[in-house]
Amino acid sequence: MEFPQQQKPADGKIIYPPGVKEITDKITNDEVVKRLKMVVKTFMDMDQDSEDEKQQYLPLALHLASEFFLRNPNKDVRLLVACCLADIFRIYAPEAPYTSHDKLKDIFLFITRQLKGLEDTKSPQFNRYFYLLENIAWVKSYNICFELEDCNEIFIQLFKTLFSVINNSHNQKVHMHMLDLMSSIIMEGDGVTQELLDSILINLIPAHKNLNKQAFDLSKVLLKRTVQTIETCIANFFNQVLVLGKSSVSDLSEHVFDLIQELFAIDPPLLLSVMPQLEFKLKSNDGEERLAVVRLLAKLFGAKDSELATQNRPLWQCFLGRFNDIHVPVRLECVKFASHCLMNHPDLAKDLTEFLKVRSHDPEEAIRHDVIVTIITAGKKDLCLVNDQLLGFVRERTLDKRWRVRKEAMMGLAQLYKKYCLHHEAGKDAAQKVSWIKDKLLHIYYQNSIDDKLLVEKIFAQYMVPHNLETQEKMKCLYYLYSCLDPNAVKALNEMWKCQNMLRSQVRELLDLHKQPTSEANSAAMFGKLMTIAKNLPDPGKAQDFMKKFNQVLGEDEKLRVQLELLISPTCSCKQADVCVREITRKLANPKQPTNPFLEMVKFLLERIAPVHIDSEAISALVKLLNKSIEGTADDEEEGVPPDAAIRSGLELLKVLSFTHPTSFHSAETYESLLQCLKMEDEKVAEAAIQIFRNTGHKIETELPQIRSTLIPILHQKAKRGTPHQAKQAVHCIHAIFHNKEVQLAQIFEPLSRSLNADVPEQLITPLVSLGHISMLAPDQFASPMKSIVANFIVKDLLMNDRSVGNKNGKLWCPDEEVSPEVLAKVHAIKLLVRWLLGMRNNQSKSANSTLRLLSAMLVSEGDLTEQKKISKSDMSRLRLAAGGAIMKLSQEPCYHDIITPEQFQLSALVINDECYQVRQIFAQKVHVALVKLQLPLEYMSIFSLCAKDPVKERRAHARQCLLKNISVRREYIKQNPMAHEKLLSLLPEYVVPYMIHLLAHDPDFTKPQDSEQLRDIKECLWFMLEVLMTKNENNSHAFLKKMVDNIKQTKDAQAPDDPKTNEKLYIVCDIALFVIVNKSTTYHLESPKDPVLPTKFFTPPDKDFINDKEYLSLEARTVLLTGKPKPASVLGTVNKPLSVTGKRPYNRTAGSETGSNVSGHSEPSSPSGNKGREQGTDASETGASENEENPVILLSVTPAKTEPVKNKEVNSEQSATGNDSAERGKKRAAPADGSENMHQSPEENQPDEVGAPVPPKPRRGRPPKSQTPGSTEKSSEAKTGGRGRKRAAPTPESPGELLEAANIKVPKQQKDTEAKKTPAQRQMDLQR
């Protein structure tokens, strides 16, 4: 629009646009607004090329900047003036008509204030405000301010205004103009001051961010747009605060870490120079500061799309170092970060694994707990995010010492199992990856803690076989789970059901007591039941109080008793159980008490006793699944289980359930299916089926005659011609479920007794098993007929004859399937003798004495009763084990225990030191099981002291665990049974000491009372037992032990009271025991709580006239026992002497056969025998044979010994060579054979570690040599049997007798160093696996 030309007055008078009158303070506001609008219109239409108009309206432009307009109270006036001023800057650009700096400052501050009007988008004037913003942004009017000294004040005010007015009602154009305006100021200025930077950054702080999201977004985009310019300013700010510690430079100093996080999320290049500063902060001495930096970096590294770890490796490595920070919260923060990192950055899992491994063993419980949470959280999101090593850490923590950690680990693994194995959410590969979880979780049931057991039960019911599934689905889940479990997990699951069943029985007995009249005896019995039940609940102390309260409620509430009786009824279904539990819980709940510990404890009890899985319907479903597997129509292959394995494990599952839920099996359909299983070829399947009939078939005879008529002939057939296990179960089944059992058993007994034929041992085993069990179950009927069978056939015809020649391969053990039929028959014949005697339970006919003499002879002859040398080493081992086990079994019957002589007891005890590893292993387990059940007399616990001599570490560890368990069981039994105090002599663990002392005094290895090596062995055996007994000093038990040993010294050995040497050995063992007690205890001098009673079978009554105050240990012997350092002269005196051992051939191995070792740790580490194995040389003149090696001894050239991967863990040096079949204790020693001393060393090569020096073994039952002397090797020839069974004679002068004192001697340091330099110690695989 063009205006008419107007002449500019000479005096600078203001010229207004046409039609606009003068604007003064004399007119009204409305008039001012009206006139200003016309002025605005004029300026709006003008452009920069209108030079005349620019000159004409210059006075008006100056006038509009006057105080009257800038300070006008009317906002419309101010807005219109601001619009005019914006246009003026546009028109007169690049030079503004205002030359005064102060005036410019006032104008821009005025315009800035007007921009606040942008806040209200619904205002009628919003378009003018928008025009104002658009104009100044487009023209970049504010750039004029760069010339002003205090331009920063204007910019700060502008930025604050824009950030404060922005809101979600603004459109994209408003955002764009604001950004243009601010970015031009940042990018075209000389720099950004801290105050201006603060005005931007303040919007990133979480508190402000949450208040005004649009301001945050505006700041975010602004920073991204200006990154190149502003990055330097940001780096300077953080440098001031982080490195120089100048927190006063900005009000935002305390928010630096929040700002860094936000800036990193906006645009990582913004922090290009800041990250190295964080590395500096990570190494701060202030724990809280490190924690803050770690929290920040955890968010930066863990952010979803963050590449910081790959772009800044030094910072990442420095951050990982904080996993090992001394400050607990820092480590905790690192562990929490790992979860996000694993989920968002799987590629960093490898870096994190090693650090998480260390933290999984952190001393802080919370950190170990969070490691598990971290791994499980990532695993639940995607199993691929966690590697096997990480899952292994969780697996380890299931055995953590803290319950909270164990619980988290177990629950985490259970959740993974349910997700990937049960629901198959990630396919078969994922399921396979975590398939071990089911076994591991069930293994935890072996732990002693009741909390662990309860949690395993809960996990099983909720995650492994969810109880809320439909019966068919639930049983399918159980069926295939049971098929896939490893043997130990199966045992644990079986034990779980057994424990639950026992607890049900306890509750049932408690309810029965409630039905009886009140009496003192009834109350005592009830209290006992409550204590037993409480032991099966968490926190037994509180559980006792809660159970008393629960028992009181039961007594008062009959309806509650009815519900509980229904719950534990054998006929209760799973659905009924659910209803009962809810009903009982409802009755006990208290609405006014939200947390009710009493109710929680009762819930624990109900969860354990409620049948949530198994009822009649469930058993029926399992049987149908079994039938499908038999028919081949099941999903066995799909579930990853071979059909044969599914059938066998299915029957085993049913067999276990037949013990705990026998009533649920009683149906014709179930029994028909089991009859089909009896006809299958699989021996295990048929055996399990018979056992199920035995456990559940009590009503078959009366209610299912058709099943009975079919079952009887099958049982007869199995008892006569089935496998030994089937025969045993068949006999027991007949005895358990039929009323006319005598007739049935007679029909089996008669034909079997007539058909016994020792010439066909293969057909003899099953009849022997059947006859033995029949005579045990029905002694009144069959004991007499059995006597003639025993005398004429079992002993004379079978045991006293060797019809076949055994395999002479030199092995001490062989797999079951390789045992000869004749030896198997002899083993079962020994078992028959025991069963026959256990059935009679009396010794009126003196049959037991004869049997014990026979068994003792078997042990004396090392298993070769006939001494014809026909029998193989491995078969002899089997027969020794059978004989030792038989004596131990007979000891469980009081009438036979009384007639077992001390000599016979000692013979059976020595089996635990047998030279064959498997014999020791199996015998120790048999003794342990019988002791735990309190079936064996206490004296048998003393046998475990001999395990200190075992060369295999695992065996010693197992023996120690057995002792701990037995002592714990006996102490607990005494606490729980008040009547037990009357039988303390047979129950109190401390009373094992007299038996142990007597047993060690008669140890065949204890031949020289003052020999330091033998004394040390005795000390080891004593301490092996005493260490466990003296762990706790209950009731001054240390003083009691000392008093007991003192009392023994005042008696004589009842086995040979008049033999001075025997008594001397007894007193020496007593002195060693006293030496151990005094050195290991500080309370032995206190008064003994009671006077010990000694077993008269082993010790004579004390003689008042006999006072034994002599000390039998020399000062030198005491020094040796205390320090383990005998005189070094013994070593020097024997180091080059040729050695030989009774009945044993030295065994040297070639380097080619050296594959590893598992050696005993009894000797001193620094002694010449530090490695129990002997070093090998390639020039050995002969090769030895291990008890497990196929190769016999060959006296020709060296052949690397071939070892079999079997379980035997024996010392090669202890094995007899093939030619030495009758090597026994008590044999006389022959002169060395020619050429046996061809391995001498030269004096200057006098090192124990010299390669190629074979060392003969010490005469020890299954033990490795305790000393190795390089110098010679001798062959020993056969000799005749001595008097004692497995006793070995003392060494002759040409034997290592001189060396016994030198064993276990610590070598002087200088000598050790020399040896180490010359010949590196080599381990030899002495112990076969």
Token look-up 């902060």 returns 281
Q: Where are the alpha helices (DSSP H) in 516-638?
A: 520-535, 540-556, 558-567, 574-588, 597-609, 616-631
| DSSP of 1230-1256 | PPPPTTTTTTPPPGGG--TT-TT---P
- Would you state the pLDDT for residue 1002? 94
Q: What is the pLDDT of residues 1185-1210, one digit of tens each?
A: 333 333 333 333 333 333 333 333 33
- Would you state the pLDDT for residue 54? 67
| DSSP designation for 137 | H
Over range 107-119, report the average pLDDT. 82
Q: What is the pLDDT of residues 943-979, one digit of tens each?
A: 999 999 999 999 999 999 999 999 999 988 888 777 7
Is residue 91 very low, low, confident or very high in pLDDT (cuts 50, 70, 90)? confident
User: How far from the centroid of its chain's Cα atoms is residue 726's Cα?
Assistant: 37
Q: Where are the alpha helices (DSSP H) in 364-435?
A: 365-381, 388-397, 403-417, 427-433
Contact 165, 126 (CB under 8 A): no
What Rg value do the Cα atoms of the chain yield, rounded? 47
Contact 1021, 1007 (CB under 8 A): no
- Whether residue 94 is preceded by a cis peptide bond, meaning omega within 30 degrees of 0, is yes
State how far the Cα of 674 lies from the Cα of 624, in Å rounded to an integer. 11
Q: What is the pLDDT of residues 727-780, one digit of tens each?
A: 999 999 999 988 888 888 999 999 988 888 888 888 889 999 999 999 999 998
Residue 151 DSSP SS3: helix
State how far the Cα of 808 lies from the Cα of 502, in Å rounded to an integer. 50
State how far the Cα of 405 lies from the Cα of 374, in Å rounded to an integer. 13
Q: What is the pLDDT of residues 1028-1083, one digit of tens each?
A: 998 877 767 888 898 899 999 989 999 999 999 999 999 999 999 998 888 887 77
- Would you state the pLDDT for residue 284? 83
Q: What is the pLDDT of residues 208-217, one digit of tens each?
A: 877 888 888 8
Largest CA distance in the chain: 158
Q: What is the pLDDT of residues 31-62, one digit of tens each?
A: 777 777 777 777 777 777 777 776 777 777 77
Percent of the chain having pLDDT more than 70? 83
Contact 932, 881 (CB under 8 A): no
Q: Which residue type, as a one-letter code, is found at position 273?
A: S
Over range 1242-1248, report the average pLDDT. 38
Is residue 1162 very low, low, confident or very high in pLDDT (cuts 50, 70, 90)? very low
Q: Among the ranges 94-103, 518-527, 1302-1311, which has the highest mean pLDDT value?
A: 518-527
Q: How many CA atoms lie within 13 A of 764 on its CB side?
A: 23
Tokens standing for residue 799: 């045991």
- Would you state the pLDDT for residue 992? 93
- Would you state the pLDDT for residue 1124? 66
Whether the predicted pLDDT of 1243 surpasses 50: no
State how far the Cα of 1165 lies from the Cα of 1181, in Å rounded to an integer. 29
- Across the chain, what does the average pLDDT equal? 78
Tokens standing for residue 123: 């205002």
Q: Which residue type, as a one-letter code, is found at position 222?
A: L
Contact 242, 256 (CB under 8 A): yes
| DSSP of 509-549 | HHHHHHHSPP-HHHHHHHHHHHHHHHHTSSSHHHHHHHHHH
Contact 275, 313 (CB under 8 A): no
Higher pLDDT pick, 634 / 473? 473
Is residue 1228 very low, low, confident or very high in pLDDT (cuts 50, 70, 90)? very low
Over range 296-319, report the average pLDDT. 84
| DSSP designation for 1302 | G
State how far the Cα of 1025 lies from the Cα of 1038, in Å rounded to an integer. 13
**For the purposes of burial, counting CB atoms within 10 Å of the CB of 421, is it exposed (0-12), middle (13-18) or buried (19 or more)?**
buried
Give, in order, the Cα–Cα distances in Å from 27 to each of 22, 36, 84, 991.
9, 12, 19, 122
Is residue 1327 very low, low, confident or very high in pLDDT (cuts 50, 70, 90)? very low
pTM value is: 0.69
- Would you state the pLDDT for residue 827? 93
Output helix, strand, coil percentages for the chain, rounded to the nearest 5. 65, 0, 35
CB atoms within 10 A of CB 381: 13
- Would you state the pLDDT for residue 1125? 56
Phi, then psi, of 1015 in degrees rounded to 5: -65, -40
Whether the predicted pLDDT of 924 surpasses 60: yes
Over range 1301-1314, report the average pLDDT. 39
Report which of 1124, 1140, 1312 is spatially closest to residue 1229, judged by C-alpha positions.
1140
Among 522-531, 732-741, 856-865, 1259-1268, whose mean pLDDT is lowest?
Answer: 1259-1268
Phi, then psi, of 702 in degrees rounded to 5: -90, -30
**DSSP run (H or E) holding 929:** helix 917-932
